[in-house]
Amino acid sequence: MAGVTNAAFRRLCREYLRAGVPGTSRPPVPGTGASGTPASGTRLPRTDPAGTGPVGIFVSEMVTARALLERNAESLLLIAHDPDERPRSVQVHGTDPRTVGEAVGMLAGEGRADHIDLNFGCPVPKVTRGGGGAALPWKTGLFAAIVRRAVRAAGPEGIPVTVKIRKGIDEAHLSYLQAGRIARDEGAAAVALHGRTAADHYSGTADRESVARLKADLGTFPVLGNGDIWSAQDALDMVRETGCDGVVVGRGCLGRPWLFADLSSALLGDGHLCEPTLGEVLTIMRRHIELLRDHFGRDRRGTAGDRDGPDGAQRRACRDFRKHVAWYLKGYEVGRRTRSDLALVDSLDAFDAVAAGLDHDQPHPGPPARGPRGRCGSPRPVALPDGWLLSRDVDGLPAVSRCG
């Protein structure tokens, strides 16, 4: 997720999964959690070599293929990984097969990734207006060419490529069955389906029936279910109702890096939930700022450095953290003024000063803290290039499948 799943947040998720989160008696869970938790038989990288816990991958923010090839400083920071982060997963977006192939080849050849995820699920206008994201699978020939180039570029290094899609542009222009078949036939390792169209944006409820239909259509090929995974029970229900091989978590982890511990616990069958007190949440929030400070202090190659200086990195970390405050405090009794003060701090000392005035013993609020969060909104027309829906072809590339 843009602006969220940088190296700092991914590290936080891994830390609290491995060590266990205050507020639960559950012991640390084997394995490292997931933004996607695929079944053990897939061709995806394993994060639990012992095979005693769920397999999972924490995916980077989406980065454009062109920016990678241009070695844009901010883009290299987006794909920065901690030295101990495995697998290193990078999500790539692009609309040109050659450019995507070259970008994936760069990531693979320079040892910058262990897994590539191609994003064809983004519904935001600035992406779909150029024919990218959730708009692109409608052009089946172009979609096939991009997946093919990426798979071939990653193949020599043994790096798996997965594909994330939506149901289609809108209910009148569905493409997920064709896209799933194409991804499988072009050598992808798995496909993740968000059960909404681009027109749905994030409104309403994710359609699990579409995930079930795709899984039934693709048989043994790994399918991951995405959409409205707000809790561990939601993940279990998605797998049970659809037969999918795992889940992909997006907005559900906003302000809850410990959600992956709940997911792993549920998949192992022990049923324990992380229920931190307000004080424990404040400790996690502070740690998040610290990790953001270190992240933004990296140099322009995306490695440890002092790019903005210690004070500049700390100020940037605090600014970036502002969007997380409401997510972390969802359900807790914290006044509007205090929430605002926490969102305006410019240093760790300022954060500590505000946090000191709160009731650290306030217990976890239960269900109110586990519900939906992040973007919702309402359905809206999809911004598309002129004439995009008139044909399944583009630039002379034929539609490779018209079934479904």
Give kind and range of the element (H or E) at residue 295. helix 278-296
Q: Are 361 and 279 in contact (CB under 8 A)?
A: yes
CA 162 from chain centre, in angstroms, equals 13
Could you give the CA distance from residue 318 to residue 306 in angstroms, rounded to a whole number?
17
Could you give the CA distance from residue 150 to residue 154 in angstroms, rounded to a whole number?
6
Q: Are 205 and 197 in contact (CB under 8 A)?
A: no
Q: Angle between the 309-328 and 348-355 helix axes, to the nearest 10 degrees? A: 30
DSSP 119-164: EE----HHHHTTT-GGGGGGSHHHHHHHHHHHHHHHGGGT--EEEE
Contacts of 300 (CB under 8 A, 6+ apart): 73, 76, 77, 307
Residue 62's Cβ-count burial label (10 Å; 0-12, 13-18, 19+) is buried
| Tokens linked to 52 | 């005693």
274 is catalytic: no
Give the three-state DSSP class for 64: strand
CA 309 from chain centre, in angstroms, equals 29
CB neighbour burial string for 149-159, b if at least 16 within 10 angstroms, e if fewer: bbbebbeeeeb
Could you give the CA distance from residue 57 to residue 392 in angstroms, rounded to a whole number?
33
| Catalytic annotation, pick one of 122, 244, 253, 274 | 122
Active-site residues, by number, are 122
